[in-house]
A and B are shown apart, each in its own frame.
Chain A
Amino acid sequence: MTRLHVAIPESIDEALGLLGKWGREAAVIAGGTDLVVELKDRLKSPKALIDIGRVPEISGIRETEGGDVWIGALSTHAEVASSTVVKETAPVLADACAQVGSPQIRNRGTIGGNISTASPAGDTIPALYVLEASVEIIGPKGKRVVPIESFFQGPKKSALAFDEIVLGVKVPKLGKEYVSFFRKLGQRKSLAISIVSVAFAGRCQEPGLFTDVRIAFGAVAPTVVRARTVEKAICNMKLDPKSAQYISKLAFRDCVPITDVRGSQGYREVMACNLLYEGLLEMGRVRKA
């Protein structure tokens, strides 16, 4: 009978040592909400599991000296969603985490796991894109910092090497003059993987006028994508219900969705536009109120 070794390192160095020892035969496990499914389906058959749940260097949420927010990889979706700092300085990420799965999944699943899995439908990722966050990685050669957009290379493919661990994400704070939102479309109200998701952040000069607009879509391309065409368009005009309708129609230009059990390519293209439109409209309403 084959045996699965489980190691529970107490420090990041110990974790890296174990990774070095087992090499590609090892799998890092945090909340296990993605990995255990893959183990069960025999999509992965590691010889060893390295449970990083007790590594102190990768937990906690705090403000850095540089004025950013640092979120440890082990932070659960529930922790991020209820964190006061995150809610105040990166509300779009708190919103995204609050919409992941169900209470059980939010209590176990981690932000590090969500990033490392590198699914184009991962809900924290569009939020991290519009926050222009960066991923802190540690490996045998030391630490490196990768901008979030460079981290993802395709479905389940990322810049993370087999012997590296995600330490956390560094999130620049959004100023008070920024407005933002995250919306996801699923078939039902909870436990629904996104058919399409969208995150928005923009600096509001005066009602309807935005600069520094950032928009990212999930589940419409091999990785989460920034929608630069719409971003530019929004910066150049006054946003009202009519122009929002026009602008959001440009969303599909940056999307190259596929057809799968959750939705077809054609539907996803339309949804990218409509989800953005609904979001912009709602934002307008909230601001007026």
Chain B
Amino acid sequence: MSSFTVVNHPISRIDATTKVTGRAEFADDLAFDRMLYGQVLRAKYPHAKILELDTRKAEEAPGVAAVITYADISGAQAIGPVRPDMPIFVSTRTMYLGDAIAMVVAETPEIANRALDLIRVEYEELPTIFDVEEAVSEGALQLHKDYPGNIVNHYPLRKGNVEEGFKASDVILERTYTTQLIEHAYIEPEAAVAVPGSVDGNVTIYGSIQNPFTARRHVAQVLGVSLNRVRIIQCAMGGSFGGKDDVVSAVCARAAVAALKTGRPVKVVYTREESLIESYKRHPYVMKYKVGATRDGRLLAMEIYILADAGPYSSMTPFVTWRSVVQATGPYEVPNVKTDVYGVYTNNTYTGAMRGFGSPQIIFAQESLMDELAKELGMDPLEFRLKNAFKQGSVTASGQVLDEHTVSLMNVIKKATEAIGYSEKQRAYAKNKTARGKVRGVGFAASYRGVSLGAEGVDAAGALVSVQPDGSVYLHSGLAENGQGLKTIFSQIAAEELGCRFEDIVFMDTDTSVIPDSGATVASRSTTMGGSAVRDAAKKVREVLFGVAAELLNAPHEEITAAGGKMYVNEDPARCVDFRDVARAAYGKGQLMAALGWYQAPKVSWDEKTGQGKAYFTYVYGCQVAEVEVDCDTGQVKVLKVVAAHDVGRAINPATVEGQIYGGVTMGMGYGILEEVELQDGVTKTRNFDEYLIPTSMDVPEIVPIIVENPDSYGPYGAKTIGEPTCELLAPAIANAVYNACGKRIRRLPLDLERVLLGYSLRAARGKRGSEQA
């Protein structure tokens, strides 16, 4: 059993009751006196010049308080995490169908909605570009004059010499893989309320906001005010998955501009259709892989060329594609690597952060490729991978030596494949070939993943622990709950470290006026980074309390321990005092019982020209195996069972780790066989969940989670991460299983019915998508 009292235990989530009883407060539940409602008018064409914008009629309509356009913005017209290129309202040119042109603010949502029809916009359609390969080809239309060739960014990586590697190879394989545009599909669409402050020019915003500090920065820029004039308070989140970042910053900024203009609270809530049209998505990738190996199955060289469709705005593309360049070879030792990843501007819906962040795409390619290469070599896919897999001390494509943590790749692969009986099933199913009816197959995929931001940027986080005179505790965190269970995890860490009762902790909603900017809740960094900050804060307070307890117990400070609401003498636990009494006494003595904790990530490095460096301070390893049934008559793939083994360092809460695995596997299945945002010449065709299909509870297979624990030297109690790795592996595992079942190799996601039956989608041929035919 665990040596911990609170940590490492499957404690129920602290927000579970309010959520299942419907009492959790979401942004749309909020109401303020004299509140107005905003409705957004969006572009009619994905790429067009705006010749004239006339809002007068809408402004005069009864019940309309104001119509907001670019002309109402006094600060920055555009925002962006890297480049400020996404306009809050477009002024002269639309770049994709989700561009906002104006927002009507009215007494009711219905009035605002009707008034949208009264706004007159005259457009002149411009030539468009929707295909990444076309966008980077010579003579292509240039979307941004400062970024020639429509290139958002380019990351090269060079290791060894690929020419020599290929020369020495016995087998060389070249393959192209493509992935689709994906919607986060959070159950709660975008929502925020901006309330003008009592001090002139100040504004407070409540909302479904993934990253309160990012939203604050963007709102302040747009209003042209200092950061301390904008206060953001996060509401309960109905899901985010990386999706409530840039788009929500824009929603908040529009609401704030409108609130300050009208002097009244303004609420903006999107419908599903609006959300699907405007919000950014996961990048579609076109990935060309060339791989060389010896006859006996040793990888010698990999050359990788990737185009990522960014849409018209840079958003997170430079960060997303950076993770891709680091991890593109997969968790294998490859002596010679040449990788080039490009972000590419188009007039498709813009793309940004989504759970996985540049890994689901490349893992689909590289893990499909590993199976294809094994087949070419006449080797077993498992044996082949184990031969090349990272071991303790292996060197990554970027030249990083993996020696500061336990490299458990082999272990997770073995655990996952053995649990499902992969080897026997794989051999048996490979023999069973029929042209009709139902056939079964198994397949797997493995990955390594850098934890937190790595060399992407500043990586630090804070937390505030404040013990009250009665021993109860406030916990504030700069990283925010996104629905993943952060409140519970952080409370567990605080309780473990303070030695108080878990129930005595109250986690406060993230409020930018209370806690230091801790960066964004992204990159599966909360437990490692924020958890370490909580631990740091709690430790500081505990030291104060130990001093008081030492006096009360008449024992030396160093001999005091705390657990489960008691402080006691190490050697003699019967000599103890209640945590609450210590707090009371400390308060009586005028001691400070609050502390700010801070954690800064260990140093990492990156050379932009060579793609070499210590990309991340630690890594996690995962393997997922899928067993499927393919209907040869319809192309339907049923996922029957999934085993998912993940090394998390330490499971702060095994139940929430399993929760992440169930959810991530389900999302991965949607990516693999169902989901695709269909754009036809830049126009969103899938506008609600009747056409954009995500798995239902009926589709979820049996999922067997396997938690592997190899405590890390950095994270709290050795904890690393689990959020994203769970969601990056299943699509290639399914593709490999489908091949095992019926001998069809499908190199484009999703493996929907048409693609499995015919090998390509007739349906998708409607839109111009060059990559589909390849």
Contacts and interface: CB of A to CB of B under 8 A. Distances in A.
Interface in A53-105: 102
Contacts of A189: 696, 698-699
A266 B762 contact: yes
B668 to A, nearest CB: 15
A187 interface: yes
Contacts of B110: 1
A266 B693 CA distance: 21
A39 B372 CA distance: 50
B685 A274 contact: no
A18 interface: no
B674 A267 contact: no
Contact of B693 (A185, A187, A275): A187
Contacts of B763: 259-261, 263-264, 267
Interface residues of A, number: 27
B609 interface: no
Interface stretch (A139-147, A173-181, A190-198): A190-198
Contacts of B691: 261-262
B754 A267 contact: yes
A193 B689 CA distance: 11
A158 interface: no
B274 to A, nearest CB: 12
A262 B762 CA distance: 11
Nearest to A183: B634
Contacts of A274: 633-634
B678 A261 contact: yes
Interface in B112-143: none
B758 interface: yes
Contacts of A277: 436, 633
Contacts of B63: 1
Contacts of B693: 187-188, 192
For A188, A190, A265, the residue with the greatest tally of chain B CB atoms inside 10 Å of its CB is A188
A185 B753 contact: yes
B752 interface: yes
Q: Which size bracket describes the interface of B in this complex?
A: 20 to 34
Which DSSP category, helix, strand, loop or mixed, fits chain B's interface?
loop
Given A102-B696, A275-B634, A187 B752 contact: yes
B696 A261 contact: no
A188 B753 contact: no
B146 interface: no
Interface in B628-646: 633-634, 636
Contacts of A265: 762
Contact of A190 (B108, B436, B698, B757): B698
B698 A188 contact: yes
B696 A267 contact: no
Nearest to B766: A259
Contacts of B699: 188-190
Nearest to B680: A261
B479 interface: no
Given A188-B699, A192-B693, A278-B633, A263 B753 contact: yes
Contacts of B758: 266-267
B771 interface: no
A264 B766 CA distance: 9
Given A264-B762, A266-B762, A185 B634 contact: yes
For B686, B690, B752, B763, the residue with the greatest tally of chain A CB atoms inside 10 Å of its CB is B763
A271 interface: yes
Interface in B686-705: 686, 690-691, 693, 695-696, 698-699
A261 B687 CA distance: 11
Interface string B755-766: 001100111011
Contacts of A36: none
A102 B698 CA distance: 10
Nearest to A190: B698
24 contacts: A1-B63, A1-B108, A187-B693, A188-B674, A188-B695, A188-B696, A189-B698, A190-B696, A245-B436, A259-B762, A261-B685, A261-B691, A261-B763, A266-B762, A267-B753, A267-B757, A267-B758, A267-B762, A270-B757, A275-B633, A275-B634, A277-B436, A277-B633, A278-B634
The 4 nearest A-B residue pairs measured at CB = A264-B762, A274-B633, A189-B698, A264-B763
